Amino acid sequence: MSRIQARFETLRRAGRKALIPYVTAGDPDPDTTVPLMHAMVEAGADIIELGVPFSDPMADGPVIQAACERALKHHVSLRRVLEMVAEFRRDNDEIPVLLMGYLNPIEAMGSAEFAAAAQQAGVDGVLTVDLPPEEAGELADELKGHGIDPIFLLSPTTTDARVARIAEQASGFLYYVSFKGVTGATRLDVDAVAEKVGHLKSIAALPIGVGFGIRDAESAARVSRAADAVIVGSALVRHIAESTGHPETIRDKVAEELRAMRAAMDATQPAAAVS
Amino acid sequence: MSTPTEAMAPPHFTDLPDANGHFGPYGGRFVAETLMEPIEELRQAYETLKQDPDFQAELDRDLHYYVGRPSPLYHAERWSNHLGGAQIYLKREDLNHTGAHKINNTVGQALLARHMGKTRIIGETGAGQHGVATATVAARLGLECVIYMGAEDMKRQSSNVYRMRLLGAEVVGVESGSKTLKDALNEAMRDWVTNVDNTFYIIGTVAGPHPYPAMVRDFQAVIGREARQQIQEQAGRLPDALIACVGGGSNAIGLFYPFLDDSEVALYGVEGGGDGIDTGRHAAPLCAGRPGVLHGNRTYLMEDNDGLITETHSISAGLDYPGVGPEHAWLKDSGRARYVAVTDSEALQGFHDLTRMEGIIPALESSHALAYATKLAPTMAPDQIIIVNLSGRGDKDIHTVAAHEGIEV
């Protein structure tokens, strides 16, 4: 069982939902990232999603685009991101780490070499935004062969037939993009999302995480009633942007935001809800 | 049942892409999940309309009465004699409405948008030619139009920005990344994923996710179909070589495609060599890049060792793009076409040569193809034939040329 699968199993038994914070690796500088990862774990993160900076982040809104640009000023490459994961793993062997990024840096390294290096570093899942399942065969096989979960997106436009096909290739969990748009937009319709997640669960057996548009403790809590995991990115990255150059302030603000989300999510779960 | 000979025969180049949009290892669909269903709807709509005689008739009427097709094939006798080799014919796409080949594609995609019931058109532009061609067809059909353009390019091509605004388009400056064409494409993709219900994205070149590379090629292939017929009428035979410039590669594939199965016709694509390939300051992914994935397809890219896309340089904004259409990547690997680069200064020489020798001011993009013709023609016999795609007119570039030569206009 992978770390991601084990984590969801533990949470399910405890009647809790996963909180998955996203930060772009190397934002605003490489030294900030690993201590920030530890701070997020302390504040209640269940899984850490680490963005791999890319020059052309087409699926991202302005907040994460700017994060990529800050990281790339320090030449934070995919290899450097793997070094960060390895460094995190020296002190934490429990919390899963998921990489989220675009295909080209992985292609430049080669699928096989990447999968081996990611396993070596202690990566547990890989979400490649611009790699739909139709094109993902080779990379998904390499990842699975190295004990890494390939994570796929579902969206409001994904047909039921596709959901079933994607669920067959995916492992770990499925990442539902809550609206048509880019990361960080403000279009979240919680009721519609809850209904959709219920429908997805009737098709796919994997846990469902919901991301894009979750901005505060209240929306995190409301989404967590329906979803197995809440993914929050731009709302955290905003704090990094505001406090560039002050790593301790960044850690404090991000941790404070996460603690509030964690508390609101835990408070909203029906007691001992084991489904 | 196929005979062994048929089974072993190589596939026709014109059979590609396959059902999933692949040209050999290139092409495909590399987009976020939200766009997968919309591009599948687009593919189905396009495949249906492509077979529909009424749609084809409508398109042909627009190409004739609105665009001004067929464009002439002109024998540049004086220039040919001066170079002292092959006879050069120019396919005059510069004489189309809006002054370049771009309108062949935007007329087609706009008709498709209307048939699909979309009310809003978006597009990206580098030099502004595709933006103008898109704003033009949107005005004609009364559709809302938003054009994304890199902030740097808006400075370089301010008259085209004004032209688009005159036509009623909203021009949005893109401040992210290198602030050029690739960033405009990123931003258009972001708009599309957000407004996909009512919005049609008119991509300007043979790149992007399937079906765009095939669809844009099909709309541009009118160039090659006409040229193939015209050269046989004028010279009584097929040409020995075709030359076209390659940024994304839509004018080149439009000329090449109807000749792909004529193995005796050599194909040359000319990339923006900038300051020279060995300086690293260029826009020549086919000559000096390597395969990767960007903007929805696998193709040759300009990237660093970590897979990050690098900035390009060309005097011609229309060639200033780090990728290239996937069919060109396939034609390169298969050996069917050859890809070369000419430098900024060679292209400028081509610009001046044609202007002074034939009284035609070419676009800087097209000047790259002309510059290569000045190298190739003298190596060929006077009874041989080259067709050069004169993909656009140079009015938009006179300020760039003047500035480069220290002249105030």
Report which residue type is found at A49. E
Please tell me whether residue A219 adopts helix, strand or coil conformation.
helix
Q: Which of A29, A31, A42, A60 is catalytic?
A: A60
CB contact under 8 A, B307 and A158: no
- Name the minimum distance, in Å, from the CA of A151 to any CA of chain B: 12
3-state SS string for chain B: CCCHHHHHCCCCHHHCCCCCCEECCEEEEECCHHHHHHHHHHHHHHHHHHCCHHHHHHHHHHHHHHHCCCCCEEECHHHHHHHCCCEEEEEEHHHCHHHECHHHHHHHHHHHHHHCCCCEEEEEECCCHHHHHHHHHHHHHCCEEEEEEEHHHHHHCHHHHHHHHHCCCEEEEECCCCCCHHHHHHHHHHHHHHCCCCEEEECCCCCCCCCHHHHHHHHHCHHHHHHHHHHHHHHCCCCCEEEEEECCCHHHHHHHHHHCCCCCCEEEEEEECCCCHHHCCCECHHHHCEEEEECEEEEEECECCCCCECCCCCCCHHHCCCCCCHHHHHHHHHCCEEEEEECHHHHHHHHHHHHHHHCCCECHHHHHHHHHHHHHHHHCCCCCEEEEEECEECHHHHHHHHHHCCCCC
A130 close to B (CB below 8 A): yes
Q: What are phi and psi of A230, to 5 degrees?
A: -115, 125
Q: Is the pLDDT at A106 greater than 70, yes or no?
A: yes
Whether residue B20 and residue A55 make contact (CB cut-off 8 A), yes or no, is no
Q: Are strands A208-211 and A229-232 parallel, antiparallel or unpaired?
A: parallel
Using the beta-carbon criterion (under 8 Å), do A162 and B31 form an inter-chain contact?
A: no
Write down the ipTM of this complex.
0.94
B125 pLDDT more than 60 = yes
The two three-digit tokens of residue B223, written as one number: 């160039």
Q: Nearest residue of B to residue A114 by CA position?
A: B306
SS (H, E, C) A86-131: HHHHHHCCCCCEEEEECHHHHHHHCHHHHHHHHHHHCCCEEEECCC
Residue B4: which pLDDT band, with cuts at 50, 70 and 90?
very low
pLDDT tens for B252-289 read 999 999 999 999 999 999 999 999 999 999 999 999 99
Which pLDDT tens digit goes with each residue over B206-233? 999 999 999 999 999 999 999 999 999 9
Chain A residue numbers with beta carbons less than 8 Å from the beta carbon of B186 are 56-58
Q: Choose the mutation target among A81, A180, A188 for the interface with B, i.e. most B CBs under 10 Å.
A: A180
Is B152 assigned a catalytic role? no
- The reply to whether residue B307 touches residue A135, judged by beta carbons under 8 angstroms, is no
Report pLDDT for A272: 45
Q: Report CA Rg, chain A.
A: 17
Task: Summarize the confidence of residues B27-43 as an average pLDDT.
Answer: 96
Q: Is A86 left (phi over 0), alpha (psi -120 to 50) or beta?
A: alpha
Q: How far apart are CA B290 and CA A58, in angstroms?
A: 21
Mean pLDDT of the B73-95 span: 98
pLDDT in tens, A48-105: 999 999 999 999 999 999 999 999 999 999 999 999 999 999 999 999 999 999 999 9
What does the pLDDT read at residue A245? 92
Residue A228 annotated among the catalytic residues of the structure? no
Q: Which two tokens stand for residue A118?
A: 């990611």
**Does pLDDT of B120 surpass 50?**
yes
Instruction: Give residue B408's pLDDT band: very low, low, confident or very high (50, 70, 90).
Output: confident
Marked catalytic residue, from A27, A31, A42, A49? A49
Average pLDDT of the residues in A258-272: 87
Whether residue A180 and residue B193 make contact (CB cut-off 8 A), yes or no, is: yes
Asked if A107 and A78 count as a contact pair (C-beta separation under 8 A), the reply is no
Residue B10, pLDDT score: 52
Report the C-alpha gap between A238 and A47 in whole angstroms. Answer: 20
Q: Where does the pLDDT of residue A143 fall: very low under 50, low under 70, confident under 90, or very high at 90 and above?
A: very high
Question: Which residues lie closer than 8 Å to A4 by C-beta, 6 or more apart?
Answer: A47, A96, A98, A124, A125, A149, A172, A173
Closest-CA distance, B146 to chain A, in angstroms, reads 17
B124 is catalytic: yes
Question: Whole-model pTM above 0.90?
Answer: yes
pLDDT grade, residue A271 (50/70/90)?
low
B contact test, residue of A24, A54, A58, A162 with most B CBs within 10 A: A58
Nearest by CB to residue A155, choosing from B34, B293, B294, is: B34
Q: How far is A153 from chain B (nearest CA, A)?
A: 6
User: Residue B117: its pLDDT value, please?
Assistant: 96
Please tell me the distance from the alpha carbon of residue A250 to that of residue A192, in angstroms, as a whole number.
33
Q: Cα distance from B306 to chain A (closest Cα, Å)?
A: 6
Question: B148-159, pLDDT tens digit by residue?
Answer: 999 988 987 888
Average pLDDT of every residue of chain B = 95
Cβ contact, residue pair B37, A79, below 8 Å: no
Contact predicate B318/B126, CB 8 Å: yes
For the segment B90-116, the average pLDDT, to the nearest whole number, is 97
Query: Is A177:A154 a contact under the CB 8 Å cutoff?
Result: yes
Reply yes or no on whether the pLDDT at B3 is more than 50.
no
Determine whether the interchain pair B33/A158 forms a contact, defined as Cβ–Cβ distance below 8 Å: yes
Q: List, as ranges, residues 238-267 from A with C-beta within 8 Å of B.
A: none
What is the Cα–Cα distance from A211 to A98, expressed in whole angstroms? 14
User: Band of the pLDDT at B180, cuts 50, 70, 90?
Assistant: confident
From residue A225, alpha-carbon distances to A15, A18, A187, B26, B56 in Å are 11, 11, 19, 43, 53
Distance in angstroms (rounded) separating the CA atoms of residues B244 and B252: 5
pLDDT exceeds cutoff 50 at B6 = no
pLDDT digits (tens, 9 = 90+) for B308-357: 999 999 999 889 999 999 999 999 999 999 999 999 999 999 999 999 99
Q: How confident is the model at residue B127 (pLDDT cuts 50, 70, 90)?
A: confident
A163-172, A186-195, B47-56, B121-130: the lowest-pLDDT one: A186-195
Task: With a cut of 90, say whether residue B141 has pLDDT above it.
Answer: yes
Kindly tell me if the per-residue pLDDT of B409 is higher than 90. no
Cα A237 from Cα A22, distance rounded (Å): 8
What's the mean pLDDT when you consider all of chain A? 94
Q: What is the pLDDT of residue B11?
A: 60
